[in-house]
């Protein structure tokens, strides 16, 4: 009995040996290491302004991802998905194979081709929430929680959420604690270690 008691004290008595501290999970936000030279990121990685684009700090590894952006101030902007090869100083995006984006005028572009377009009466305005689902094949767009039935596809490889701004546009990202519930089967972006 004394040996058992000594073993317990030896394993956990000092609190150091055998104790593995929990690491805090990283937060998905805009990545200041992957942004255009004239971009400004504020509000703890949640707001973009200036001129150019920025990737999120987490790729879309899981099968079905959802994220949102709130339009704080209108101007020239675009939101979607892109590879790390995208030119973050080029506005608008969607001109090459490295980005698939909804532009402020309601058009969805990839490889310099219009892939789809929002209905004319559904263009995002200041204060609107634009949501995106991505399932490794298709990107879909939601406006204030309503599916716009505006699918687009064509991008290949590992992609990240991407946003660009110009002409006084200001956008806020929402990668969790969404304004609107994620569509069924879709969830917030997870870092790879969170998936397993």
pLDDT at 54 over 60: yes
Domains in the chain (CATH in brackets) are 30-174 (2.60.120.920)
Please, which pLDDT band fits residue 10 given cuts at 50, 70 and 90? very low
Round to whole Å and give the CA distance between 196 and 192: 7
Q: What does the pLDDT look like over 83-130, one tens digit per residue?
A: 999 999 999 999 999 999 999 999 999 999 999 999 989 999 999 999
80 three-state secondary structure: strand
pLDDT at 1 over 60: no
pTM of the model: 0.87
Determine the pLDDT at residue 22.
61
């Amino acid at each position: 009995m004394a040996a058992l008691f000594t073993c317990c004290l030896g394993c956990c008595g000092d609190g150091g040996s055998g104790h593995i501290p929990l690491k805090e999970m990283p937060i998905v936000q805009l990545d200041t290491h992957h942004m255009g030279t004239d971009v400004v990121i504020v509000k703890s990685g949640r707001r973009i302004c200036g001129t150019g684009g920025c990737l999120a700090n987490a790729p879309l590894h899981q099968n079905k991802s959802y994220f949102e952006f709130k339009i704080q101030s209108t101007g020239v902007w675009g939101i979607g998905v892109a590879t790390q090869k995208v030119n973050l100083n080029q506005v608008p995006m969607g001109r090459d194979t490295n980005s698939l984006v909804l532009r402020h005028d309601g058009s969805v572009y990839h490889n310099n081709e219009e892939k789809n377009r929002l209905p004319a009466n559904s263009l995002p305005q200041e204060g609107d929430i634009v949501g995106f689902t991505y399932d490794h094949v298709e990107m879909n767009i939601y406006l204030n929680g309503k599916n716009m039935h505006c699918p687009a596809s064509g991008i290949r490889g590992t992609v990240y959420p991407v946003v660009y701004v110009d002409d006084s546009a200001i956008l806020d990202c929402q990668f969790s604690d969404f304004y609107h519930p994620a569509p069924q089967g879709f969830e917030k972006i997870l870092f790879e270690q969170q998936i397993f």
